[in-house]
Amino acid sequence: MASHIDWYLIELERELTAFPEERRHALLVEVENHLREQMSDMVEIGMSHAIADQESVLQFGEPSEFAKRILGTKLEHPAPNLSLKGSNDAIAGYVLASFIFALLAGFGMHQDEPLWVATGTACLVVMGFGSFVRSRINLGSFLACSAILTVFVASGMALTLVEPGKLDGRVAVPRSTAFRLLESPESMPLLTGPMTQDTAQRITELLDEGLQRPFFAKFVTYLREGFVFSTLITGMVMLAAAMFRWARSKVARLRAKLA
């Protein structure tokens, strides 16, 4: 059953985000043990559970004040910068996404890049959400995560052979298809209908162009597009995380009140 103690621990955890994770966890365990033992003693001398629960928490004072005092103590190993901390998981997500891509597609196997981008974005979103739920959200972490996602998306798009949109959205050419098309353009029908000779010619030209253009040039082209996409995604993930935290805190308070 949720209680004032549960609410207090949730609030305290939220206030202690600048504390190193390991120490924060240890402190929370220590405080929880203290609160529960104190409550148990109060119940033993005849106090009701509800009152004892409330009294134990009152002895500790406001979570924010307690956290301020704790954070005011000199730390031998201070927490990393909040912005960096907020982006740590996103960096891990990027590395994980690259690893999964390498496993799934293999380098030089000419598999579809959208798989890479989709997997990577999903990893970043999931890990970013987890990170933002645990950490305090600020402008630094927002920019850091947007930048990481931008680089990821732009590099993924730069690796495609045909730049999206060049054919007015009529056709999408992933890498595996593109290589087959280069070998025999007439064998590849369009999803929207039979491929005309002109379209086949245009695709072939674009593929040649895509093959010849250096990676860096394409990467720079997609940076702006990637930035817009990444900022949007990061903002949505942060908003979702903030709403989740808010809802979790409200539910804990409500349950404490009901208890």
Partner 1 sequence: MKVELEGLVLAVLLNGPLHGYGIVKELRAQTAELLTVGEGLLYPLLHRLEEEGLIVGTWLHPQPGKPPRKTYALTKEGHARLNTRREEWKTMQTIVNQVLLREGV
CA–CA gap between residue 186 and residue 167 (Å, rounded):
17
Q: Which is nearer to partner 1, 25 or 257 (CB)?
A: 25
Minimum Å gap between C-beta 122 and partner 1 is: 36
Side-chain-facing half-sphere of 259: CA atoms under 13 Å: 20
Minimum Å gap between C-beta 230 and partner 1 is: 39
If one counts every other C-beta atom within 10 angstroms of the C-beta of residue 242, the result is 13
If one counts every other C-beta atom within 10 angstroms of the C-beta of residue 254, the result is 12
Minimum Å gap between C-beta 118 and partner 1 is: 43
Minimum Å gap between C-beta 72 and partner 1 is: 7
For residue 162, the 8-state DSSP code is S
Q: Which is nearer to partner 1, 72 or 108 (CB)?
A: 72
* Amino acid present at 24: R
Q: Which residues bind partner 1 (CB under 8 A)?
A: 26-27, 29-34, 37-38, 59-62, 65-66, 69-70, 72-76
Minimum Å gap between C-beta 74 and partner 1 is: 5
Q: Which is nearer to partner 1, 71 or 190 (CB)?
A: 71
Q: Which is nearer to partner 1, 25 or 180 (CB)?
A: 25
For residue 185, the 8-state DSSP code is G
Q: Which is nearer to partner 1, 78 or 106 (CB)?
A: 78
What are the DSSP calls for 197-257, one per residue? HHHHHHHHHHHHHHHHS-HHHHHHHHHHHHHHHHHHHHHHHHHHHHHHHHHHHHHHHHHHH
